[in-house]
Amino acid sequence: MPVANKPMTKSTARDLFPGALEMMILQSLRRQPAHGYALVQHIQQRSNNLLQVEEGSLYPALQRLLKADLVKARWDVSSTNRRVRTYQITASGLRRLEQEISSFEQMFEGISLVLNPGKSTAT
């Protein structure tokens, strides 16, 4: 049987919008370089476990960032003496993060305005 072109996306209660995960990864890496597992831990902690992200879905996002040269990676040994692949944000990664954040804030504000018309005088 021929396989459909796009792998089917698993439908969760609330999908993240495209690019959200990347943005969070970049933000985390801005603080300090980290490996995949640490990144997951960090994002889950910071979001108070509100974001139910599959741990593995981090990896396609990391590959996209790597491909776009927004992060770079190297094999390392962690403080707990484990072999880890540590990611580090690049200069262009930083620039992209700034752009993403500001466009995200705009979008978020727009959505909030529509969803909460009462508070429309916020600006």
Q: Cα–Cα distance between 52 and 87 in angstroms, integer?
A: 22
- Among the listed residues 58, 64, 52, 46, the one whose alpha carbon sits nearest the alpha carbon of residue 21: 58
Q: Any contact of residue 4 with another protein (CB under 8 A)?
A: yes
Q: What is the footprint of another protein within residues 76-115 (CB under 8 A)? A: 82-85
Q: What is the DSSP letter of 69?
A: T
Q: How many Å apart are CA 55 and CA 119, to the nearest integer?
A: 36
Q: Which token pair is 90?
A: 């690049």
Question: Judged by CB under 8 A, which of 62, 70, 71, 97 binds another protein?
Answer: 62
Which of 32, 47, 49, 63 forms a contact with another protein (CB under 8 A)? 63
- Report in angstroms how near the CB of residue 54 gets to another protein at its nearest: 3
Q: Is 7 in the site for another protein (CB under 8 A)?
A: yes
Size of interface with another protein, in residues (CB under 8 A): 27
Nearer to another protein, 7 or 117 (CB): 7
Q: Does 2 bind another protein (CB under 8 A)?
A: yes
Question: CA-CA distance, 32 to 114, in Å (whole number)?
Answer: 36
Cα separations in angstroms, 7 against 4, 20, 79: 7, 20, 37
Contacting positions for another protein (CB under 8 A): 2-5, 7, 10, 35-37, 40, 54-57, 59-60, 62-64, 66-67, 73, 75, 82-85
